[in-house]
Amino acid sequence: MDCQHIIFLFGDLVMRKKLIAHILALTVFLSVFLTADNISFAQKTAEQNSDITIVMVGDILLHTPVEEAARNADGSYNFDFIFQNLKADISAADLAIVNQEVIIGGQELGVSGYPSFNAPYQIGDALINAGFDVVCHGTNHALDKGKSGVLNCLKYWKQHPLVTVLGINETEAEYNTVSIFEKKGIKIAILNYTYGTNGIPQPKDMPHAVDMLEKEKVVKDLKFAEENADFTIVCPHWGTEYKLEADSSQKYWTDIFRKNGADLVLGTHPHVIEPIEMLEDDNAAITNNHGDGDMLVYYSLGNFVNWTSGKGKGVANRMVGGMANVKIGKNTNGEIVIKDHGITPVVCHLHKGHEGVIVYPLKDYTDELGKENEIVKQDPSFSAKYTRDLCNKVW
């Protein structure tokens, strides 16, 4: 105990007066600082901290050259290099979603590319390492390796319980389950469906292996989500391949999603980017959709990674994708709404050799890289400028 405290304890009047003066000064300071404006600022900061950031990337389309680029000399695979330029942004998001276009059936089923895809388990490892939380498997390639492919894939993911898999199921109970995530006290439902499975029927003893875009199921799931979650995301695998705008089937399903309370739609399948549209009701502000309300639609995020064998005009479009960026949080009524949204354009860079396939943010994709991209040999129109012009055209 210092001497000043000893003097005070024994009743020194001078020290008492000094202490009282300090207390009065502190009181005045607090009365000035804790004004309504400052309290509002504190509340606003707390609200911002409770906001949730969501990202999603498009198709992980593992054509044979991509798989070969990931194959090591010992026969093992490592796909981490593909994601290295986006990993920081993916990991920073509160909720990161990816469309895993091809089934992960493992090497025992034979690693293969187009048209009947099968990926090694190491692509799953790379998705985990990149920071993805949710993996959508409801695609037209989900049944490329039949029942065995689905079961192998689910078995792999069950060994990684921190990642949630959507779109494929082992049991009817899983098929009837709507996945709801809780982040910062906010409940988010995420649904994933595909328009079809390339004519391959569901296994007879697993008739619910893949979640299909069937109206009865979709409406039922959305009703459950509306009643049990604060915000609903739908990730449909839909549309027309290589078309830069939404088709009639996408518009049809968009109406169904909106009428039944979806708040955000993140589409995949066309392998090219498509427009982004905010469908608004008559309210001035963006509100939570309880039916025919505000709903944000990313019609197609395009490919994240691919090495198509296609040649000719338009092939260059397949090298451009987008990472959706959405921020949600509470409005003044306490409902969860979309506060902000955007897109990060990305370019898939192809170079022959080990680890030669890397995805770049468009802002970092130079003219020099554009000239080096192997896709130029398949579509001479490709260039860095071409990718920028395409994004400006669509978005």
Amino acid identity, residue 248? S
Inform me whether the pLDDT recorded for 47 exceeds 80: no
**pLDDT score recorded for residue 1:** 35
Inform me whether the pLDDT recorded for 303 exceeds 90: yes
Is 357 within 8 Å of 65 (Cβ atoms)?
yes
Instruction: Please state the pTM of the whole predicted model.
Output: 0.88
Give 122-154 pLDDT, tens digit per residue: 999 999 999 999 999 999 999 999 999 999 999
Inform me whether the pLDDT recorded for 23 exceeds 60: no
Residues with Cβ within 8 Å of residue 273, at least 6 apart in sequence = 244, 300, 301, 302, 317, 320, 321, 322, 345, 390, 391, 394, 395
CA distance 299 to 257: 13
Give 264-286 pLDDT, tens digit per residue: 999 999 999 999 999 999 887 89
* pLDDT over 70, % of the chain: 88
CA distance 138 to 100: 8
User: Which two tokens mark 352?
Assistant: 């022959």
Closest CA to 308 of 318, 300, 322: 318
**pLDDT score recorded for residue 180:** 98
Beta bridge partners of 350: 357
**pLDDT score recorded for residue 11:** 34
CA distance 119 to 101: 10
Closest CA to 89 of 275, 343, 276: 343
Helix, strand, coil share of the chain (percent; to 5): 35, 25, 40
**pLDDT score recorded for residue 365:** 99
CA-to-CA separations, 217 to 154, 168, 196, 276, in angstroms, rounded:
22, 14, 14, 25
Question: 236: cis peptide before it, omega within 30°?
Answer: no
User: Which two tokens mark 280?
Assistant: 């608004």
CB atoms within 10 A of CB 366: 10
Is 142 within 8 Å of 166 (Cβ atoms)?
no
Closest CA to 301 of 112, 96, 131: 96
Quote the longest CA-to-CA distance of the chain.
Answer: 94
CB atoms within 10 A of CB 216: 7
DSSP-derived 3-state class of residue 187: strand
**pLDDT score recorded for residue 185:** 96
3 state SS for 281-310: CCCCCCCCCCCCCCEEEECCEEEEECCCCC
Residues with Cβ within 8 Å of residue 195, at least 6 apart in sequence = 140, 212, 213, 236, 237, 238, 239, 249, 269
**pLDDT score recorded for residue 111:** 98
- Domain positions in the chain are 11-49, 51-394
Average pLDDT over residues 311-340: 98
Is 270 within 8 Å of 61 (Cβ atoms)?
no
Is 178 within 8 Å of 191 (Cβ atoms)?
yes
Give 153-190 pLDDT, tens digit per residue: 999 999 999 999 999 999 999 999 999 999 999 999 99
Inform me whether the pLDDT recorded for 3 exceeds 60: no
Fold that domain 51-394 belongs to in CATH: Purple Acid Phosphatase; chain A, domain 2 (3.60.21)
pLDDT band at 9 (very low <50, low <70, confident <90, very high): very low
CB atoms within 10 A of CB 356: 17
H or E segment and range at residue 225 = helix 215-228
**pLDDT score recorded for residue 262:** 99
**pLDDT score recorded for residue 284:** 79
**pLDDT score recorded for residue 49:** 78
Give 190-248 pLDDT, tens digit per residue: 999 999 999 999 999 999 999 999 999 999 999 999 999 999 999 999 999 999 999 99
**pLDDT score recorded for residue 35:** 52
Mean pLDDT across the chain:
91
Give 51-108 pLDDT, tens digit per residue: 999 999 999 999 999 999 999 999 999 999 999 999 999 999 999 999 999 999 999 9
